[in-house]
Amino acid sequence: MLVTFEVTYAEGWWSASADAPENAIYTQGKSVGELIDNILEATSLHYAEELGAGERITIVT
């Protein structure tokens, strides 16, 4: 599965959003590193069932 995030920077915050089945995924961070950590966490939570079934997820920003 491929999940594509759109990343923006405004007012000191990095933000990322991705269209996803049933709900979009949104997250933010003060640094790029924090944003990446938050993208990984938010995506893992959103697709917990799929990951539990062995699905591999590729994240693109």
pLDDT at 1: 87
Contact 15, 8 (CB under 8 A): yes
- Residue 49: partners with Cβ closer than 8 Å, 6 or more residues away: none
- Residue 33: partners with Cβ closer than 8 Å, 6 or more residues away: none
Instruction: Find the mean pLDDT for residues 17-22.
Output: 86
pLDDT at 48: 92
23 three-state secondary structure = coil
Residue 21, pLDDT > 80, answer: no
pLDDT (tens digit per residue) in 26-44: 999 999 999 999 999 999 9
Phi, psi of 21 (to 5 degrees): -55, 135
